[in-house]
Structure 1
Amino acid sequence: MPIEYILGIASFLTSIIAGVLGFGGGMLLIALLPLYLHPSTIIPIHGITQLASNSSRMLFSITDVQWSLLPKFLVGSLLGIVLFGLLLANIPSTYIPVAIGLYILLNLWSSRFSSFIKRYENYYIIGLLQTGLGLIVGATGPIATSVLTKELTCKNQIIATSSMFMSISHVAKILVFGFIGFSFFEHLSLLIYMVLGSIIGSFVGTKLRSLASNDHLLFIIKLLLSLLAIKMIAAVITEYY
């Protein structure tokens, strides 16, 4: 099966997951991408796809977006672009799968790491970390989602507002990678399939949100993410050592 079809379907399915749960889809997709893409293309292609996924999910629930939280997050995001953009320029692309894999495993299974991430409840800092780290590890949605869950009582508001935050982070990612010379047009065919899959998946996930049982789905996502993260790390280690 052509890679466009495979990753288009993957974008569709992971976007459904994100539409239902509000997170998990982006992390699952970025764990799959190293199996099919060169390391240097993973983050920018993931950024375009997830911008489509998050912005469409936000639009499908536009009345639930909490716009009052936007200014602080936006200021933090701008700072994150500058600080982490400088760091990105000095990281070999070969090791990006390792950074992604470690981030996923720590975020899922380390209570200390999870507590460290979740305790930043200032939206300036959340914007800085979520957008800045997104340049390096790609999927950072849980950073803001964990805080929104404490402040908002409506699941639709949490998911819609988190989607708005992530849309900003992915726009920043696309701009930074475009600035440093990544050519998105070289991957236009793949991106069309992935973007269409993401938008359709967001629509389906939004419709299914009220019907889903989260507990079982969350366990499956965590298990799949962990296996894929270990595979990513092992592939780099075995290749160079």
Structure 2
Amino acid sequence: MLDALSPLGGGINLVLILLSVATSALTAAVGVGGGVLMIMALAQVMPAAALIPVHGMVQLGSNAGRAAMTWRHVDRAVLAAFVPGAMLGALVAAWLLVRLPAGILELCIAAFVLYTCWGSGLPKRALGRVGVFVAGAITTLLSSLVGASGPLVAAFIKQGQAGRLASVATFSACMLLQHLTKAFVFGVAGFVFRDWLVLILIMVAAGFVGTWLGLRLLHRVTDHRFDFLFKWVLTLLAVRLTWLGVQRLLAA
């Protein structure tokens, strides 16, 4: 039965479903990290052509669940500015759909994340409507090209949010819309979702369970502890991106 879920084997399908629970719980509880862990795991077992579109659809469902459960905490002003930028980024990605030089992108994202975590913070102008619009466009473009721009979006969103629930809710709503654009981008590019649809739907349902578990933990975490965990998870992800970027630069 599990073998029929996707072109992958039954055992792998089961592991990915359980992983969807774990990564959704991580993002709900800590604010970020689940999407990157998911794409790292998918990259080990999934054909390259299916990696980014399948990851995007699974994360769309995961973020939809998180956004629905935390909707009253979403910063709607940020979301209203982010959406037009995301649409622009998706249109550019559909036209471009190529990768930047190996290693450069990872190093740029890592540098930005580390600066927002440990630097003096972004200027207020960058957190205004124009700044959010630009962030929506750039991160959506990057997400369509390399798969996981979550740390970049999370680092930007966190600068303008005071509480842990607002951070998670606004991040989830922005990522929901960003991943939604991937259906358009890869549909235009000719990717056939049908072969992977059943696995995607089951992983999305599993993600709802993980989100529920993670949000229960989030409500028990203080803002101070959340900020500490959020910053260090982002930092570890940025260190990993730096390592990958250096490896790819050297390989090239």
TM range, smaller chain:
0.7 to 0.9
CA distance in 2, matches of 1:206, 1:118: 28
Q: Which runs of 5+ in 1 are unaligned?
A: none
One-letter code of the match for 1:23?
A: V
1:29-87 per-position Cα deviation (integer Å, ceiling 9, x unaligned): 11221111111111101111101111100111111112232222111112111223322
d(CA) in 1 for partners of 2:242, 2:204: 24
Query: Contact 1:46 / 1:138 at 8 angstroms: preserved in 2?
Result: yes
Alignment match, 1:186? 195
Matching residue of 2:21: 12
Q: What secondary structure does 2:26 align onto?
A: helix
Q: Does 1:150 align with 2:140?
A: no
In 1, distance between residues paired with 2:150 and 2:40? 14
Does the alignment pair 1:138 with 2:147?
yes
* Structure 1 residue 210: Cα displacement: 2.7
TM-score by length of 1: 0.79
Matched, 1:75 2:84: yes
Q: Could you tell me how far apart the structure 1 residues matched to 2:109 and 2:197 are?
A: 28
Amino acid of the residue matched to residue 204 of structure 1?
L
Establish whether residue 84 from structure 1 lines up as the match of residue 93 from structure 2.
Answer: yes
Secondary structure at the counterpart of residue 2 of structure 1: helix
Structure 2 residue 191 is the aligned partner of structure 1 residue 169? no
Asked if 2 retains the 8 angstrom alpha-carbon contact of 1:31 and 1:225, the reply is no
The TM-score normalised by the length of structure 2 is: 0.76
- What is the alpha-carbon root mean square deviation over aligned residues? 3.4
**2:21/2:207 contact within 8 Å kept:** yes
Equivalent position of 1:200 in the other structure? 209
Structure 1 residues 200 and 80, CA gap change in structure 2 (3 angstroms): same
State the one-letter code of the partner of 2:216: K
Say yes or no: does 1:50 pair with 2:62. Answer: no
How far, CA to CA, are the matches of 1:37 and 1:225 in structure 2?
Answer: 24
CA contact (8 A) 2:39 2:51 kept: yes
Residue in 2 that maps onto 1:23: 32
* 1:230 to partner: Cα distance: 5.6
Q: Is 1:211 equivalent to 2:220 in the alignment? A: yes
Identity %: 26
| Residues 99, 137 of structure 1: 8 Å contact kept | no
Structure 2 CA distance for aligned equivalents of residues 225 and 111 of structure 1:
10
Bigger shift: residues 34-43 or 66-75: 66-75
Residue correspondences, number: 233
From the superposition, tell whether residues 75 and 206 of structure 1 become closer, same or farther in structure 2 (CA, over 3 Å).
Answer: same
Residue from 70, 73, 79 that aligns with 1:61: 70
